[in-house]
Homo-oligomer: A and B are copies of this chain.
């Protein structure tokens, strides 16, 4: 069942190690088959050197395991909530990567100070609000999805243009149109997070991009008038 997607999700999870985004078993990537409305995700707490494509767990969008003998990632409800909320997503990645997580720990958005950022993220990378005590006790992982979606709605941010979010006190989630691309965004986020930690230390005065420079870089890579790369 979903052999192709399982392989894709497995390979995306293995990229987490290659890109140095994880320690031990931390981190997880999922993919989705929108026709069948089934999500494939990494099992919980299995070390990367033992992981196999057939270990991937299949879940439906009502939060039920449909296939697989292993427990799914504990963060699976966050992934499912986000797929339900944003039906144009095809891959989601969660890590505790060093620098992105440092911004989560500080509870701060990453301000847009460079074109490396603007090439990939259209605006400041948002950090979520703190979760209510009650929401932590019940359905914590589900509520993590809710608070992400609330941030995007409240600030009128589109996931197509902002493929990353920092969960306060926790870690980043990234999204894209494939599991592999979600991991690539996680890597880019990590680089941007480190660059902007550095520039913040050099100058507390923000040296943010103008709207025009942000537009130029974002839209030379994205959308119908893009001219970066090969067609």
Chain A residues with CB under 8 Å of chain B are 23-26, 43-46, 70-71, 74, 96, 98-99, 101-108, 113-116, 130-131, 133, 136-137, 140, 168-171, 184, 187-188, 191, 194-203, 207, 209-210, 212-213, 216, 220, 227-231
Interface contact B169-A209, CB-CB below 8 Å: yes
**Chain B nearest Cβ from A173, distance in angstroms:** 13
> Which of B23, B26, B46, B202 is the one whose CB lies under 8 Å from A106?
B202
Which single residue of chain B is at the shortest CB-CB distance from A140? B216
With A26-B116, A115-B171, A228-B45 as known contacts, state yes or no: A98 contacts B198, CB within 8 Å. Answer: yes
**Chain B nearest Cβ from A207, distance in angstroms:** 4
Apart from A99-B198, A105-B114, list 5 A-B contacts with CB within 8 A: A24-B187, A44-B228, A44-B229, A104-B114, A106-B198
With A136-B216, A169-B207, A207-B169 as known contacts, state yes or no: A71 contacts B230, CB within 8 Å. Answer: yes
Interface contact A210-B171, CB-CB below 8 Å: no
Which residues of B sit under 8 angstroms from A46, Cβ to Cβ?
229-230
A26-B130 Cα distance, complex, nearest whole Å: 35
Which residues of B sit under 8 angstroms from A74, Cβ to Cβ?
220, 227-228
A93-B166 Cα distance, complex, nearest whole Å: 33
Interface contact B114-A202, CB-CB below 8 Å: no
**Chain B nearest Cβ from A129, distance in angstroms:** 12
